[in-house]
Amino acid sequence: MASGTSRDVLGRGLAVLGQAIREQPRIFAVAVTGSVLFGVMVVASAFVVGRVVGDVVVPSIETGSVAMGALTLAATALFAISVLRVVGIFGRRLGAGYMQFRLQADYRRRVTRRYLELPLSWHHRNATGTLLSNANSDVEAAWHPIAPLPFAVGTLVMLVGAVAALFVTDWALALVGLAVFPGLFALNVAYSRRMAPRQARAQRLRAEVSGIAHESFDGALVVKTMGREAQETARFADRAGQLRDALISVGRLRGVFDPMLETLPGLGTLAVLVVGAFRLRQGAISVAELVSVAFLFTVLAFPVRAIGWVLAELPRSVAGWDRVRRVLDATGEMPYGDTRLDPASAAPATLTFADINFAYEPAEAHLPGAEVLGEVGFTVPAGKTVALVGPTGSGKSTVAALAVRLVDPRSGTVGIDGVDVRELAADSLAATAALVAQVPFVFDDTVRANVSLDRPGIGDEAVWAALRLAEADGFVAALPDGLDTMVGERGTSLSGGQRQRLTLARALAGRPRLLVLDDATSAVDPRVEAAILAGLRSSGNGGPGASILVVAYRRATIALADEVIYLERGRVVARGTHPTLLATVPGYADLVTAYEQAEVDHDRQRTYDEVTPLTSGLEVDR
């Protein structure tokens, strides 16, 4: 069973290497040419050294004088061979390195491009750590054997040349070579088979140690407030200890095989000298030929190791390639159309939901997806504000995602200005509609970069205009460097409300005609939130006013809406103005009242606990 598995890994690994050669044939040819040149020069140097000993050194010892012509010729030959070996090494290493790094860069781009093509539902089924590993360490692992591959190919050519040279020189010495070379190969194969699972386990444990460390650091607030420092340290120490033991196992195996791999060519050289001395006495070979063969054995040990390096890396390469192909072969991308809305129009857009049904894809393909939305239909008229209200799990965030086409409905149509969003070009949809998500994300960059995102036409004036509309210009102006202030990873130097206002300004800077707010002001003071929404309704970032779809919880926010859509279990239960629903829909009245009481309790608690979170991660507005 084990041997079958090894053969399977070998076959799949060679297929991966074949894929690399097909994608980069010219660069591979350059690298192999350099490697073959190096190998040929190694074999040639052995015979030149033999001739130098036989034709220059031995006669000089016998006669007591040096033949300068022969010495000059020998030195010139050795110098030329050395130059050609350097050229071969340069071509091999440059070609192999260029090929490896080019493949890695190309596949990182392919994986990243595929991530952006796949729908949000696919990302929900895959952990962030796995996706990062696919684009980084898995790509590196897949193409790691490329570095020694040209050397290994050149080594094969060199070995064939060496064996042929041995037979031309003397059949008895050739038999010694035929015994030593297969032994080297067998030893390399045995070494690779035993090393591969150890390396795979060490690689897996490296990922686990990194994952535990990242999780502990990212959850430092929870770890410290729950008093779990000792337990987390012990968990990390346990996995780090396993990694230590795995690496020791790798080192122990290398310590056993490395001396054997170094000793075998030495034993071959000794055997050549013994057999060669006997053949020399018989007159079958000359001193020059004996020296050439002995020297050849001493220089072949290291190149032969290149084949072992490739074999040892194949299991890791296959594992990385399988994980990369899983991403590249994933299905479910969301193709865009080529319809474009009027780019010159500044009028608010009309958003329409018609008979929308939606279910997220299950984690396992054979299981049915749970329905999230059923027969949902409503309209956000141009220039109006519509509030989505409903209990947790009623589908509000899904509606927000559908509005900007993060996901597509199972059936029904989402339209902007009468055009199905699936028919819109990607850039036209992005320029028309903007989503401010429930959890604000801030890049580790300046305020300016976070708002503008390097989009064309968004200069400092547009950034300040968006900040004013988001009620964020005051705190930004008070920052040490204003727009040039670095906000830290995920905006750790800002409060929760400041991060929300910054991400709102980012959306407004693009002057969207449709704004979707998914509980995007929950950490903002209610008075500030009311000012933001009032400004959006009246000005629309300097225009006639954007259409707004807002997922709302606070009574003050809901009261600003022209219409309220009340959802329960993925269906529209009622719609109308806030006072009407409050008076006629008991479930709506109970929910809004509960939200209002929670807000009162929150404000009361904040009175006693007024803090400014710089690095604590607490979501409290300044």
Residues 29 and 131 in one domain: yes
Q: Got the DSSP string for 578-596?
A: HHHHHHH-HHHHHHHHHHH
The answer to which of 59-63, 273-277, 366-370 has the lowest mean pLDDT is 366-370
CA neighbor of 593 nearest in space, from 609, 603, 582, 602: 582
Please state, in angstroms and rounded to a whole number, the distance separating the CA atoms of residues 313 and 148: 10
Q: Is residue 620 part of a domain?
A: no
Residue 600, pLDDT score: 59
Residues 319 and 409 in one domain: no
Let me know whether 315 and 406 are in one domain.
Answer: no
Check whether residue 424 and residue 561 sit in a common domain: yes
Instruction: Quick: pLDDT tens for 450-467.
Output: 888 888 888 888 889 888
What is the structure's pLDDT at 367? 45
In the chain, the percentage of residues whose pLDDT exceeds 70 is 83
What does residue 568 show for φ and ψ, rounded to 5 degrees?
A: -140, 125
Report if residue 342 sits inside a domain.
no
What type of residue sits at position 233? T
Q: What does the pLDDT average to over 569-581?
A: 90
CATH of residue 37's domain is 1.20.1560.10
Q: Which carries the bigger pLDDT value, residue 6 or residue 526?
A: 526
In a domain, 336, yes or no: no
Lowest model confidence (mean pLDDT) among 20-24, 271-275, 412-416:
271-275
Q: What is the mean pLDDT of residues 362-368?
A: 49
> Is residue 320 located within the same domain as residue 468?
no
**How is residue 470 written in tokens?**
């988001």
Same domain, 31 and 167: yes
The CATH code of the domain that includes 404 is 3.40.50.300
Classify residue 348 by its DSSP letter. Answer: P
Q: Which of the residue ranges 40-54, 160-174, 329-343, 575-589 has the most confident prediction, judged by mean pLDDT?
A: 575-589
Residue at 355 is within a domain: no
Co-location of 18 and 146 in the same domain:
yes
Look at residue 621 in the predicted model and tell me its pLDDT: 41
- Of 22-36, 203-217, 330-344, the range with the lowest mean pLDDT is 203-217
**Is 357 inside any structural domain?**
no
Lowest mean pLDDT among 232-241, 259-268, 312-321, 530-539: 530-539
Verify that 263 and 403 share a domain, yes or no. Answer: no
- Over 60: is that where the pLDDT of 161 sits? yes
Mean pLDDT for the stretch of residues 484-501: 80
Which tokens in the block code for residue 411? 């059936």
Residue 50 belongs to a domain: yes
- pLDDT tens for residues 103-131? 999 999 999 888 877 877 677 677 666 67
Q: Is 1 a residue whose pLDDT tops 60?
A: no
What's the mean pLDDT in 56-63?
Answer: 71
324 and 391 fall within a common domain: no
Rounded CA separation 200/198 (Å): 5
Least confident among 368-382, 421-435, 571-585: 368-382
Interval 541-569 mean pLDDT: 79
Reported as type and span, the H/E element at residue 5 is helix 2-23
566 neighbors 553 (Cβ within 8 angstroms): no
Distance of CA 438 to the CA centre of its chain: 25
Q: CA 338, CA 516: separation in Å to the nearest integer?
A: 23
168 and 46 both lie in a single domain:
yes
The pTM for the full model equals 0.68
- Which pLDDT band, with edges at 50, 70 and 90, does 365 fall under? very low
Are 116 and 247 within one domain?
A: yes
Above 70 in pLDDT, residue 76? yes
Closest of 496, 491, 505 to residue 602, by C-alpha = 496
What is the pLDDT at residue 542? 47
487 lies in which domain range? 385-598
- Cα torsion 457, 461, 463, 469 to 10°: value is -120
Q: Is residue 343 part of a domain?
A: no
Q: Tell me whether residue 616 is in a domain.
A: no
Indicate the range of 2-16, 25-39, 474-488, 595-609 predicted with least confidence.
595-609
Q: Are residues 390 and 301 in the same domain?
A: no
Handedness of CA 484, 489, 492, 498 (dihedral sign): positive
**Residue pair 618/611 in contact by the 8 Å Cβ criterion:** yes
Tally of domains in the chain: 2
